[in-house]
Amino acid sequence: MPDTSIDVSALKDAVGGRVEADGVSWRTAAAQIGVSPSLLTRLRNGQRPDLEAFARITRWLRIDAGRFLIDPDAAPREEPPLESEIAMLLRARRDLNDNDRDHLNSILQMGIRMVRDSRED
């Protein structure tokens, strides 16, 4: 049986993104999640949460837990184009109208181009 583990860095980044997007403190996020603030501090320091905390965090994030699991025996998966993933995520948002989606997509596409151009220099 392969040894699957949690991508702690990705989980930490997802929690940080939600904390920032919601404009709350990490302590408030811990209360919303139902875990101790010290657990989120440990997560920020690269420590893996226990299974129950992991489940609570992913439910709070509303992201499938499988997105944070790593199977070291699996072949590396090819990443889909970032532009495609962004467009798909924006289309899935019910809180955005078509104009909002188009505006956000154009901003993000411009940012992607800038990053790629800066790497070519």
Run of H or E including 6: strand 5-6
5-70: which CATH topology? 434 Repressor (Amino-terminal Domain) (1.10.260)
35: its two tokens: 């875990």
Residue ranges in the chain whose pLDDT is less than 50: 1
**Which pLDDT does position 100 carry in this prediction?**
94
**Which pLDDT does position 1 carry in this prediction?**
41
The answer to whether 12 and 44 are in contact (CB under 8 A) is yes
Taking the C-alpha atoms of residue 8 and residue 46, their distance in angstroms, rounded to an integer, is 6
The answer to whether 14 and 33 are in contact (CB under 8 A) is no
**Which pLDDT does position 79 carry in this prediction?**
75
**Nearest-CA neighbor of 33 among 7, 63, 66?**
63
Residue 28 CB coordination number (10 Å) = 13
